[in-house]
Amino acid sequence: MKPVENAIDHLSIARETLLAPNGLDESHLLHALGEIFAHRVDYADLYFQFTRSEAWSLEEGIVKSGSFGIEQGVGVRAVAGDKTAFAYSDEINAAALGAAAQATRTIARQGSGRVRVAGALGGAHGHSLYLPRDPIVAIDAKAKIALLEKVERAARARDPRVAQVMAGLAAEYDVVLVARSDGRIAADVRPLVRLSVVVIAEANGRREQGHAGGGGRFDLDYFDDTVISGYVDHAVDAALVNLESRPAPAGTMTVVLGPGWPGVLLHEAIGHGLEGDFNRKGSSAFAGRIGERVAAPGVTVVDDGTIAGRRGSLNIDDEGNATQSNVLIEDGVLRGYLQDTLNARLMRVPVTGNGRRESFAHLPMPRMTNTYMLNGERDPGEILESVERGLYAVNFGGGQVDITNGKFVFSASEAYWVEGGRIRFPVKGATIIGNGPDALTRVSMIGGDMRLDTGVGTCGKDGQSVPVGVGQPTLRIEGLTVGGTG
């Protein structure tokens, strides 16, 4: 997907959406920042947000639920040293802004620090990775319901064993504006859509599930017949494969991870450990290891928030910095961490454009955007043929990781037993257990088929959720522990 060619004036849209209707202009923002700097702090910012969201779900041929919501507000942050004061209001007006600004002065300290805010606000330039369209108004309610009904009909028509279909459609229109004490003002207008399908197949008294879906930062017209057919085929095929699955073998073995969504294991087991706050505090297994070999040769991991239209991409991060493509691990060597403004300043390294927050009511922190491993040179078929006995994991469900030591546990929602270089049968109940930093050193073959996920990822950290992307090529990893039922 190519970047949007025409530069969009996101700042004008944000002013018209967030400031003008509430009787505000830049002078009010400067005044609020000045209120904070009546005492000594190092930095302050204001984060305005307007969000309109809608969701529909269909089950058993009936729209079972629908929701529509509008939320807006402003978050005010002041930073002194490593201390942060934060206040927010779900009202946007001069009085609420002033009250929130005064509340943050609780961390004021004596000694060095900025003593005044910049005298004017100047626009900062981000990217143009998506159009500032509102996907909610792109098609009417009748068309949205018809889209979900089309998904159900297509799934049921694929195979008589399909017993139940659940489909969901979600859209969001998000406008943000950031004003900072260093004089920068920046804005973004963020569309986001997602279509999901869950299929339950039944045969011989056995019921199994398959799921698929995707989305990104574009209109609902992205979900044409070709895209819908791809999601439906994937979900139905997964459910039918699971009907034939056998109990998963257990033990220490070679594991091959498929391309695309299995990159969620990379995201959880390794990506979180490369976020700046964990490394500044020394709680990550990767802390203090810049320049060291942390992975096998050939392993290069990138976090890139600049891929056009992707779910994890942003024109600016939630601190007003342009997103970047950041190489975290290069040919097995650790090159850097993901940074927001606070942690970059304290660690004395550049900001990487990874300051993210769930909403105006939350503080920003270092977060991933689209995190993936680059291609190797091996043919995926050759990788499978090289496995004498092992597991081939194509899709994952839930998982968890301990950041302090990198230990992870993931359950495979679609996996196969490989023997003699051939897929023998699908397996059910496989869990993959390992240690992220250790697993990176056990990568023995990297395919040339890198693929990003279809646009379904949501990342949780410290109670905040943000949309993300993951990806990887086919990987062969030696000596992982597989917990099974067989």
Model confidence pLDDT, tens digit, residues 112-140: 344 344 555 666 678 999 999 999 998 99
pLDDT for 248-270, tens place per residue? 999 999 999 999 999 998 898 88
How much is the pLDDT for 310?
98
pLDDT for 397-452, tens place per residue? 877 778 778 788 889 999 999 999 999 999 999 999 988 889 999 999 999 999 99
Q: Are 210 and 386 in contact (CB under 8 A)?
A: no
Kindly compute the dihedral angle of the four CA atoms of residues 338, 339, 340, 342, in this order, to the nearest 10 degrees. Answer: 150
Q: Are 22 and 48 in contact (CB under 8 A)?
A: no
Token digits of residue 471:
């990806």
296: nearest Cα among 481, 476, 482, 480: 476
Token digits of residue 97:
């802004």
- 201 contacts: CB under 8 Å, gap ≥ 6: 159, 161, 162, 163, 207, 208, 209, 210, 236, 239, 240, 242, 243
11: nearest Cα among 228, 189, 145, 161: 189
Q: Give dist(CA 369, CA 305) in Å, integer.
A: 5
Angle at 424 between CA 421 and CA 429, to 5 degrees: 115
> pLDDT under 70 in the chain at which residues?
1-8, 107-124, 486
Q: Give dist(CA 135, CA 193) in Å, integer.
A: 7
How much is the pLDDT for 40?
82
Give me the residues paired with residue 410 across strands: 399, 432
The pTM of this model reads 0.93
3-state DSSP helix/strand/coil percent for the chain, to nearest 5? 25, 40, 35
